[in-house]
Structures are given as C-alpha cells and as structure tokens.
Amino acid sequence: MRSLLALLLLLIPLPALATEREIPTSSSKDDGPQIEVSTGVEYEEGNYGSGTKINILSVPTSLTLSTGPLQLVATLPYRRVEGPSNVVPGGILGLPILFDPSQPQSESITREGRGDLEIGAIYSIPTRVVNMAFSGSVKLPTAENNLGTGALDYTLGAEVSKPLAGGIVPFASFAYTLPGSPDGYTLQDSYAVSAGVAVMIAARTQAHLSYRHADNASSLISSDQRLLSGLNTRLGEGLSLGLYGSAGLTVGAPDFTTGVRIGLPLF
C-alpha cells in the first residue's frame, strides 16, 4: 500500500528544487522590489533505517524579497514529529532527520514546536548560453523541544538551466553544506545534486520532474535518494499555488513526501 501511495505521489507534479521557479505573468514587475509571503503544509513518512516509523508534519512560513536578479528568503517552520526521542528533524541539506547520539532511542513519542530559522539569498545570472543561479543560506538554531541540532549550518549552491523550444527547461543543481559542531555529533561536510526537467504545460502553469541524491552529514544514516515531481501555477493576478511530492529510493530517504504551498504578494 505504501509503495502504491509513493507511486501516486510521483504523478502529482511539484517543485523539483528547493528554490521556486518564477512563472512570468502580466502582473510581474521589473521596476521595483517585490515581497511575497507564503505558507503551506508538508507531510513525510519513513523509518530511515531506524526500524521505527517516523512521521513529520511541517508548516513552513516564508518571506521573500525580490529585487532584480536577487532574492532574499527567510523561512521558519513549525513541526510536529512522531518518532523516537533521539530523532532530530529538518537536518542540513533538507535531509529529513538526524539521530541525536546523546539521546537513547525510546518508544515513539510526539513533539512539536518551532523549528530552525533559515535565511538565504539567490542571485540569478541569465546568459545567452544558459541561465545560472548562485545561492547561500544559513540555518540558525532557533528550534525548540529537540527539533534541531542547536548549531549553525551554512550552505552554498548553484543551479544551471537551459530554456528550450516548447517551454522545456532541463536543469541541474549542486549544494555543499558545512555543518556546525553540536555537542555529541560527529558531522562532516556534505553535498546534494539534482537533475531534472521543467515544462510549461499552460500559460501560468509549470510542471517539474527530477532526481536528487543528497549525502548525509552523519555516518549513522545512508544517503537520501528520491524522485520528485511537482506543479507550480499562478492564480489570478498574484496568488501562487504549488503541489509537490516525492518517493524515496534509499533507506535514508522518506518513503514518501507530499505537500502544498500558497504564496501571496504583499506588493
């Protein structure tokens, strides 16, 4: 049943990358800064090799400032976790969990509260050959109830894409993360790579399909490999809607993830 659900989720188009792609509309403005607030709900489930089912429900809220080729993004999630007490959700590189070695594994419990605040910047450079974007972010230790590692993490990334005829855009991305040094953890620098294709299926709607491989900063968990699919669309003059899901291919990935995102421009 779980495998069937994961397969169905792949048929739901969704954002393939952590950074959203802008869909041009008649309301898009190039003469000044734009601010958008967005929120959504995401659910993921798996055991990640622990032998115990782990459920994570997240409600991320983001504020995005766009001005010319630069985007500044701040995201603060609220999380609810059902699983052993030594499970820390929302690990670096977007990996779903880490195991806290200072906590003994226990029976499944429920924790909820504020997660870590992530602040990042994306700079886009269109060229005649390809479009490029460079990004950097820092994860601040604002989580409560053992919902974070309590350390700063830094990530640098780059993406390249090539618009083709028919609204087809193949893309690839790379991210490299330098984790902090929280007490009790032995973490190493890690990377993530993604490759896929985006297709305009309507004037205001873009679909995505991609594969992602993310190394884990902890030797206690295997790499996260998954297939992702998604759909981004514009509703009316400003409201944006994203639907997404993924299917895990390795033990270190969630069995499945699904979510919805809604964005509203403030001006």
Nearest to 240 by CA among 230, 249, 250: 230
Rounded CA separation 84/74 (Å): 29
**110-147 as b/e: b if 16+ CB within 10 A:** ebeeebbbbebebebeeeeeeeebebebebeeebeebb
The per-residue pLDDT for 160 is 96
Q: What is the pLDDT of residues 128-186, one digit of tens each?
A: 889 999 999 999 999 998 898 888 999 999 999 999 999 999 999 999 999 888 877 77
Predicted local distance difference test score (pLDDT) of residue 56: 93
How far, CA to CA in Å, does 8 sit from each of 16, 24, 68?
A: 16, 29, 38
Give the mean pLDDT of 228-245: 92
User: Above 90 in pLDDT, residue 121?
Assistant: yes
pTM: 0.84
- Those residues whose C-beta lies under 8 Å from the C-beta of residue 165, and which sit 6 or more positions away, are none
Q: How far apart are CA 196 and CA 194, in angstroms?
A: 7
- pLDDT per residue as tens digits for the range 4-51: 433 333 433 333 333 344 443 334 445 679 999 999 999 999 988 778
Count, residues in the chain: 267
Q: How far apart are alpha carbons 92 and 185 in whole angstroms?
A: 13
Which has the closest alpha carbon to 3: 227, 204, 182, 189? 227
Q: Ramachandran region of residue 101, left (φ > 0), alpha (ψ -120 to 50) or beta?
A: alpha
pLDDT tops 50 at residue 203: yes
Whole-number Å distance between alpha carbons of 74 and 95: 18
Residue carrying structure tokens 């029976």: 107
